[in-house]
Structure 1
Amino acid sequence: MKRIVCLIVMAISMSIHAQSYFGGQDIHDILFRQSVKSCEEFMYRFNEEEYFPDLDETDSLIGQKNFVFLFDSQLAKGKDRDVFLKDVFQFYDSVKANRVRLSYESKKWYAELRADFFYQRDTVELGLVFQTEQTPKSLPCWMIVGINGLEKIGYTDSIGRLTISPEQHEAEFIEIESDFKYSAKEFSKFRSYEANLDALSYFFALIESGTLTFDKRVSTNFHFFDVPSYFFSVRYYSRKSSNTGWLIYDYRRIKEDEKKAILFKLLSK
C-alpha cells in the first residue's frame, strides 16, 4: 500500500519538459490528454465516466488513483504523504458511499467570477456568484445569485442603525436634509430594524447608477456542496506537467452548519 501511495504522489508531481518525447508521442499530445480541459471534463472524471489517461482500467484501485489526479499537487506540499492520501481517500469513500455524481443541473454547485470594478477612484475586487437555472422556455442558463466583497466599499448588514427624532413628523421631517448631507455614506442605516439590506440588490443599484463600473475579469472558481460533510472548490492551473487543468485547490471535511456558513459568506446572505 505504501508503494502505491508513493507512486500516486510521484505521478501527481511529475513535471515533463515541453520539447521532449515519450513512447514515440509528442509530449504536447500527452499533456493535452492528461489535462482536465474543462469543468465538464472534471465532472466526467469525478463521476468516473472518464479516467486519467494511461491508468489501467483493470486495476482495482483505479477509482482512488483517478480521484487523486483531480487535486492540485501543491496541496500535498509540506504534508506527510501517507496522511494526505489517507485524507483524500476518505473524501473518495464519502463520494462513493453517498453515490454523489456531479452535474450541470445540480443546485449544489456555484461559479464564482472574481472581477475588478472601479468605485470612485479605487479598484476593488468582488466575487460575482452564478448558479444554473432554466428560462421560462426550459433553456439552461447561468444567473447571478450572489455577490461578495461589498464590505470593501461600505456595504454592511449589521444591527447598527441611525435613527430619526421621534418628533420629526411635526417638523415635516426637516432633519432628513442634514441626514442626506452628513450621513450619505451610511444612509442605509436609517432603514427599519425589521428590514434586511440585500447585498445583491445593493450591488445592482451601484451598477445601474454608474457608481460601480466593471473593469476586468480576474479568475473563475467553482464551488461544490454536493458531497455530504464536504466542501470543495476547483480552479484552472496552466502547467507543463500532468497536474494541469481544472483541479481541486480547496477541500474540507465539515459539519452541515459550517457548510451553510461558507455558502452564506459566498453569497453575502
Structure 2
Amino acid sequence: MIKKVFVFIVIATLCTGYASAQIVSDDYQIEQQLLASTKQLNQFFKRFNGEETNRGDELEPGDRRYRNARLRKRYLNILFDEEHAQISKNVKNKFIDVATNAQNAQFLSLRSKDWFAVVNTTFEYEGREQPLTLYMEIQKEGLGYEWVISDISFGAYDQLFDKQRGETKEFLHPMSHELDFMNLRKALVQNGSPESYTLADYKPDYLTLFLYEVKKGMLKFKTVENLKYHFFSLDGWYFSLNNYNRSGLNSGWLISDLAEITNTQKDQLLKLIYGKN
C-alpha cells in the first residue's frame, strides 16, 4: 500500500512539473511573439532605423549598435509581411542594401513629408452608412506636429459631380449674352447637372464640401475600418505598410508592397492612390 502511494506521488509530481514547464514554455513563446511583433508604428520606424532591437530594447545614440548597418539589415529582414506580400527576394535585398548603404544610409522620420496615411472610414450619409476614404498627412504646427486631412474620396460625391462630356453635354448657347443670360434658369433650375456649365478643367473641391457637410451634420462619422501607410521616403523607392493582427512572430506593422520607381512612376502611383486617374 505504501509503495503504491509513493508511486502515485512520484507520478503526480512529474505531471505537475511537466505542466509547469509547459506553462513556462507557453509564456516564453507568447513573450517572444509580443517582443518580435511590431505592434506600434513608432516601433517600425525605430527598427527600420536601427534604433530599437527586435526584442523591444531602445538604443541610444552612444550605443555601438545604434543605427549599425549590419544589425539594421537583420532588423529590416523581419519587417516584411511573409504570408501575403508578393515581394521578390532580389527586390527586397536591393531595398535593404540601399537603406543600409554605408556611404549613404537612408532613414525614416515621423516628421517627413514623404509619407501619408489612407484611412478607410464609415460615415452615415443620407440615412445609410457609406464608405469614405480620408488622406492624412503630418505637418508642422507651432513647436510641434499634427496630423491633418489633406484630401478625401467619396463615391457619393463622384456620382454627384459626374460631369457630362462630348456630344451629350448640356451647354449655354454662345449667343446667351443677347438673352441677358436668362437661359440660366434652364441651366441652374431645370437641369440636374449644373456642373456641365463650368470651365472645361473644373474640378470640385471634395474636401471643402466634406467639411461643410460634417459641420452641418449631414455627414456623421461612425468608425475607422482600416488604414494603410504609403512611403516615398527612400529615393527611388515606394513601399506601404499594413497592420497584420495575427499569431506568430510575423505580425504587426509590416511592409506589404515594395517597388523601385522613377519620378514619372511616382507621379502615376500617387494619382492612383488618390484616385485622380
Alpha-carbon shift at residue 196 of structure 1 (Å)? 3.8
Which one has the largest radius of gyration? Answer: 2
Structure with greater contact order relative to length (CA < 8 Å, sep ≥ 6): 1
* Residue 197 of structure 2 corresponds to residue 190 of structure 1: yes
CA distance in 2, matches of 1:94, 1:159: 47
Partners of 2:69 and 2:100 within 8 A in 1: no
What secondary structure does 1:236 align onto? strand
Question: Structure 2 regions of 5+ residues with no counterpart?
Answer: 1-20, 57-64
Q: Cα distance, 1:149 vs. partner?
A: 4.4
1:48 aligns with 2:46: no
Q: CA deviation at 1:158?
A: 6.9
Out of 104, 111, 122, the position equivalent to 2:117 is 111
Residues 1:33 and 2:39 aligned together: no
Indicate whether 1:145 and 2:135 are aligned.
Answer: no
Q: Which moved more, 1:187-196 or 1:254-263?
A: 187-196
1:124 match: secondary structure: strand
| Rounded Cα–Cα distance in structure 2 between residues aligned with 1:211 and 1:60 | 53
Cα deviation 1:114-169 (Å, max 9, x = unaligned):
1112333554322211111122x323111111223447742668794642223333
- Render the CA deviation track for 1:169-222: whole Å, top value 9, x for unaligned: 3444333333334543x4323222354433433433443454443232111211
Which residue does 1:90 correspond to in 2? 94
1:199–1:268 contact (8 Å) kept in structure 2: no
Unaligned runs of 5+ in 1: 1-18
Give the structure-1-normalised TM-score: 0.75
CA distance in 2, matches of 1:20, 1:218: 38
Find the aligned partners of 2:39 and 2:205 in 1 and give their Cα distance: 36
Contact 1:148 1:265 in 2 (8 A): no
Q: Does residue 265 of structure 1 match 2:272?
A: yes
Whether contact under 8 Å (2:47, 2:72) holds in the other structure is: no
- C-alpha contact (below 8 Å) 1:126/1:147 kept by paired residues: yes
**Counterpart Cα distance in 1 of 2:70 and 2:88:** 17
| d(CA) in 2 for partners of 1:263, 1:201 | 21
Question: Where do 1:1-269 residues align within 5 Å?
Answer: 25-53=27-55, 62-75=71-84, 84-97=88-101, 98-135=104-141, 137-150=142-155, 153-154=158-159, 160=165, 162-184=170-192, 186-268=193-275
Is the contact made by 1:117 and 1:123 (CA closer than 8 Å) also made in structure 2? Answer: yes
Q: Secondary structure at the match of 2:110?
A: coil
Conserved 8 A contact 2:79-2:254: yes
Tell me how many residue pairs correspond in the alignment. Answer: 242
Secondary structure, counterpart of 2:92 in structure 1? helix
Q: Does the residue aligned with 1:73 lie in a helix, a strand or coil?
A: coil
Tell me the equivalent position of 2:10: none
For residues 100 and 134 of structure 1, the distance between their equivalents in structure 2, rounded to whole angstroms, comes to 22
| Aligned residue type for 2:96 | Y
> Percent identity over the alignment?
23
